[in-house]
Structure 1
Amino acid sequence: MMEKRDFNKLVIDVGANDGILSSNSFNFIELGWNATLIEPITSQLNIAKINHENIIDPYNDGSQKIIYVPAALTEETDGDIEMAMGRDSVQMENFRINTGIRRHGGEKVVVVNGISVGNFVKAHNIPKKFALLSVDTEGTSDKILLKFLTLGYRPSFIICEIIHNRIPAKRLVRILESKFSYKLLSQMGWNLIFEEK
């Protein structure tokens, strides 16, 4: 990936969870890339910070910037969002209540800060071109991804979790290929991996 092109070594990790197990940014952070991790469950974001303590800016030269954003990304609106926290902290499958995901019972409901993609990119000065966008938002990944692209953001690579999404995977692939000039590189588990053409 790194050899293929010269790009802004920035990872945007939406739904970063603990920053390791259910996150696609850890290895890039370890390589010295900049990253912005967005995670609405504060306890998981705090674990990510701890998990990253010893790998960020190892030379203490200030060259690596990692930002942790305690929020849930939305398509359009800011404000409080109800989320169900899964019973199993290992799976880390937390989701917005109004996405249509069937609840299994026993989930704890919490209210988190929601920020629209548009306001997020403005607040954090996200460049239009960057290396990797990873979206894992349990039922809204497709909508969040398409909002980034509709706003003109063009990551070189995209990882998008497809479980629970409203748009079927095959249709999402067609949309990214025909409307936004991305090609599907692979599917690994529930993740689709795209490269900008």
Structure 2
Amino acid sequence: MNLRSLVKYVFRRDTTHHGEFSLMLKLAGRECPRVIVDVGANDGYYGSNSFPFVARRWRAVLIEPHPVAFARLQKLHTGRPNVTCLNVACSDVAGTLPLWMGTDGDAGTMSTLSTDDHPHFQKVRTNQSVPVVVERLETILARLEIPPEFGILSIDTEGLDCEVLLGLHLNIWRPRLIVTEDFGPKDSKKALYLEGRDYRLAGKIAANSFWTPVDR
């Protein structure tokens, strides 16, 4: 942890990469329901969009398919009744799929379900995989009785954010803020999907895009 990250954590409990937490708070609004869903939560701390909200006692659903990263996530949040950790992946079709390991190994930040033949994945995706359970996000939220108008949905799934969104009927589920990770080949499709369901691009920080309902 560098000095800047240490200062952010000590004074604000901010673990986000580039200070995304401040913009997330602003865009979600003061009356935002205190529920955050983090798809691709990794270890739940380093570069985490959800940890600052967990630290403020928000209800949190943290989803991470990588087995080693999930073990760290679960250990971090042991004893926190406001946190549910799930060792599954999310996409538009339920089933079982290979999770391809990244070149960062057990760190898990580069693991992906994506099989896209893209230069990025040619560099960081290995030929090693583990089978993981895949669920539609709406199935998980319904099972956990998350209210349709919850607070924040943060997605960071290494090229699969669009498929995660396709597994959530946004005419029913209306998070106050959606945070997605940019991935060039699918950004246009993702934008069309969100704009077609009355979300607008409200901001960007680094590779993160922030989407809010047009009526807010």
CA distance in 2, matches of 1:120, 1:107: 29
Q: Paired residue for 1:155, among 167, 175, 178?
A: 175
Once the 2 structures are TM-superposed, how far is the Cα of residue 17 of structure 1 from its aligned partner?
Answer: 0.4
Which residues of structure 1 form unaligned runs of 5+?
A: 57-63
Equivalent in 199, 205, 208 of residue 188 of structure 1: 205
Query: Among residues 128, 131, 135, which one is paired with 2:148 in the alignment?
Result: 128
Letter in 1 for 2:186: I
Q: Give, in angstroms, the shift of residue 83 of structure 1.
A: 1.1
TM-score after normalising by structure 1 = 0.81
Distance 2:83 2:150 in 1: 15
Shift of 1:110: 0.9
Task: Work out the CA distance in 1 between the residues paired with 2:99 and 2:122.
Answer: 11
Off by >6 Å, runs of 4+ in structure 1: none
Change over 3 Å in CA distance of 1:65–1:140 after alignment to 2? same
Amino acid at match of 1:109: S
Equivalent of residue 38 in structure 1, options 60, 63, 74 = 63
Q: Which blocks of at least 5 consecutive residues in structure 2 are unaligned?
A: 1-24
1:83 aligns with 2:99: yes
> Higher helix proportion, which one?
2
Tell me the residue number matched to 1:4. 29
Q: Aligned partners of 1:109 and 1:161: how far apart in 2?
A: 22
What amino acid maps onto 1:93 in structure 2? Answer: M
TM-score, with length taken from structure 2:
0.75
Q: Report deviation, 1:81.
A: 1.0
* 2:134 partner SS: strand
Q: 1:31-66 CA deviation, whole Å, 9 max, x = no partner?
A: 111100010012111212333358x4xxxxxxx510
**Offset of residue 100 of structure 1:** 4.1
CA contact (8 A) 1:99 1:140 kept: no
Residue in 1 aligned with 2:191?
Answer: 173
The match for 2:50 is 25
Deviation readout 1:11-43 (Å, 9 max, x if unpaired): 000010010124310000011111000100121
CA distance in 1, matches of 2:86, 2:167: 18
- Measured in 2, the distance between the counterparts of 1:47 and 1:118 equals 25
Conserved 8 A contact 2:93-2:134: no
Number of residue pairs aligned between Structure 1 and Structure 2: 185
Aligned to 2:86: 69
Bigger strand share: 1
Deviation sequence 1:104-151 (CA, Å, 0-9, x none): 364531111111223222222221111100011111102212432446
Q: What's the secondary structure of 1:121's corresponding residue?
A: helix
Q: Which residue of 2 aligns with 1:59?
A: none
